[in-house]
A = this chain, B = another copy of it.
Amino acid sequence: MIRTNITLSNYMNKLWEAGNVGVRREAFGPKQEIIAQDRRYTKVHVITEGIVKCFISDENGKEFIQEFLGVGMEFGELEAFNNLTTICSVTSITNLETLSLSHNLYNKLLDEDRVFNKLIMKSLADKIRYKAPRHSYQHAYPIEDNIIRLKETFPEFTEVISKKDIANYIGVTPRSLNRALKELKEKSDRSK
């Protein structure tokens, strides 16, 4: 549920420690908007500490959470390839630290640093791999099954992430999520 990529954060830290000009450490408090949807930016971030949510919101203000990103995940990178506007907003959930670099430097590293190039290529491929089954599963199964599944992969999810965000992640309303949670609880109570 919360994705990570330790290999990449390790590598970024190494670049930073090597004093690579242009790599900057940034820090944010919780609930800060680091990237807004439909805007242009010139930086890529790699998370070194904390969790963000990455979401699309529509005209009615509804949010649909794409992913929760943890240590080692990058964001803002898609726009480094094609100079388009962002499709997601990115907001910190916890305290956050990132290493950021400009599109220019990012592309330069991709060109000149094979290890970096490979890491980013894998990171992109993983994002694709991850998304496909998730959306498929969400469509095909009722809410309850999705919650059970979440609990399995990430038991502490309610402690870190708000109910509203979880609902937006599964793609249902908070009301429906509650209903499902209640029914799950009743079922487990009965079986005791």
Q: Which of A14-22, A27-35, A76-84 contacts B (4 or more CB under 8 A)?
A: A76-84
Give A91-113 as 1s and 0s: 1 = Cβ < 8 Å from B's Cβ atoms: 00000000000000000001100
**For residue A87, which residues in chain B have a CB less than 8 angstroms away from its CB?**
129, 132-133
What's the minimum C-beta distance from A31 to chain B, rounded to whole angstroms?
Answer: 21
A102 to B111, CA, bound (A): 23
A127-B128, A131-B131 known; A81-B136 Cβ under 8 A = no
Q: Which of A56-64, A150-158, A181-189 contacts B (4 or more CB under 8 A)?
A: A56-64
Q: Closest chain B residue to A64 by CB distance? A: B136
Determine whether the beta carbon of A125 is less than 8 Å from that of B81: yes
**For residue A124, which residues in chain B have a CB less than 8 angstroms away from its CB?**
121, 124-125, 128
Give A37-67 as 1s and 0s: 1 = Cβ < 8 Å from B's Cβ atoms: 0000000000000000000101000101010
Determine whether the beta carbon of B122 is less than 8 Å from that of A120: no
Q: Assembly of this chain: how many copies? A: 2
A178 to B56, CA, bound (A): 29
A23 to B42, CA, bound (A): 37
Q: Name the residue among A84, A140, A171 with the largest chain B CB count within 10 angstroms.
A: A140
A62 to B78, CA, bound (A): 32
A88 within 8 A of B: yes
A25 to B56, CA, bound (A): 40
Q: A56-B132, A56-B133, A110-B121 are in contact. List 18 more A-B contacts (CB 8 A).
A: A58-B136, A58-B140, A62-B140, A78-B125, A78-B129, A84-B129, A87-B129, A88-B132, A110-B117, A117-B117, A120-B121, A121-B121, A124-B124, A124-B128, A127-B128, A131-B131, A131-B132, A131-B135
A-B contact pairs, 7 of them (CB 8 A): A62-B140, A64-B135, A82-B125, A87-B129, A124-B128, A131-B132, A135-B135
